[in-house]
A = this chain, B = another copy of it.
Amino acid sequence: MSPPPTDFTAFTDIAKRVNNWGRWGPDDEIGTLNLITDEVVREAASHVRSGRRIPLALPLQQDGVQTGMIPGRVNPLHAMVQVNQEIFGPGTVACSDDVVTMGLQAATHWDALTHVSHSGRVYNGRPANTITPHAGATFAGIDKARHIVSRGVLLDIPRALGGRGTDERLPGDHAVTPEDLEAAEELAGIRVRAGDIVLVRTGQIQLCLAGDRHAYAFPSPGLSLRTPEWFHARDVAAVANDTLTFEIFPPEIEDLWLPVHALDLVEMGMPQGQNWNLEELSTACGQTGCYAFLLSAMPEPFVGGTGTPVAPVAIL
């Protein structure tokens, strides 16, 4: 049965409330990343206490998270073009070189603001056809988002919800709500603020790490349609989590597909990260009780890219 019309009204209403078009000028291409000021970064650096570095990227390999469900989003194919090749003659130093073919959104990645469009528009009200097969995203491509370093905050939902999660992993039908986010804030003893990059842990990636990428993909817990407004209220710079779909999938409202993508990327202009491995970070934060850190998550600057692999690191 289809949802009642009010549902779509709900989406439209939220869209209006979180819309940031024009907020940083008509030509802005980086949206909420504008909220990461030098001052935010300077303060973020003060969160480095132990100097421990925790990488958050999954290994890049052919046996990656993609199942073939999303056409064209291929796992990394790594091939050697030279192996110990003595390019300057016998007995000289030998070189090894490699090539890769991969979907930019195949593994641990950032969505560019232009990864989705709706109603013919991308972020800042630009026409969706600014994305072309030839040049990719000529407006708000990932190459414009070249400064993603800020304070990172881990909101560890299964831990915050205590007994409600299963083995510190949310069930597949759990939509992470603003209330969940606030419970995790309370656990962390921290308040999310302007310019923060929020990492929302669901524990779902455990399925992937255990070798079952199909279970990982679907059904998946993820962010609720109600979260963009919360992120907007807090002026968050970016959000990443440990799922394939970012938002709960299948969606909360029947036939309303990827509403969180549309709200975050198109309306707010806030980058999303997916397939981030937050397990080691969760353990570390649990041990120290500190859930804030310096986060460096620089996009690879693919010109026209609508996404990019990223190798984020939390510096605690």
> A residues engaging B (CB < 8 A)?
37-46, 48-53, 55, 57-63, 68, 70-74, 76-85, 88, 92-105, 114-118, 128-129, 131-134, 136-137, 143, 146-147, 149, 257-259, 261-262, 294, 296, 298-307, 309, 311-313, 315
A115 B136 Cβ-Cβ under 8 A: no
Once the chains bind, are B257 and A93 in contact (CB under 8 Å)? yes
Of the listed residues A49, A116, A137, A307, the one surrounded by the most CB atoms of chain B closer than 10 A to its CB is: A116
Given A51-B39, A93-B257, A97-B70, decide whether A311 and B298 contact each other with a Cβ distance below 8 A: yes
Task: Say yes or no: A306 contacts B96, CB within 8 Å.
Answer: yes
Dominant SS at the A interface? mixed
Pick from B45, B71, B78: contact of A305, CB below 8 A. B78
- B residues within 8 A CB of A117? 84, 93-94, 96
Per a CB cutoff under 8 Å, which of B98, B258, B259, B296 touches A298? B296
Q: In the complex the two chains form, is A146's CB within 8 Å of B74's CB? A: no
Q: Is the CB of B100 within 8 A of A134?
A: no
Residues of chain B lying within 8 A (CB to CB) of residue A88: 257-258
Task: List chain B residues, Cβ under 8 A from A257.
Answer: 88, 92-93
* Residues of chain B with a CB closer than 8 A to A101's CB: 77, 99-101
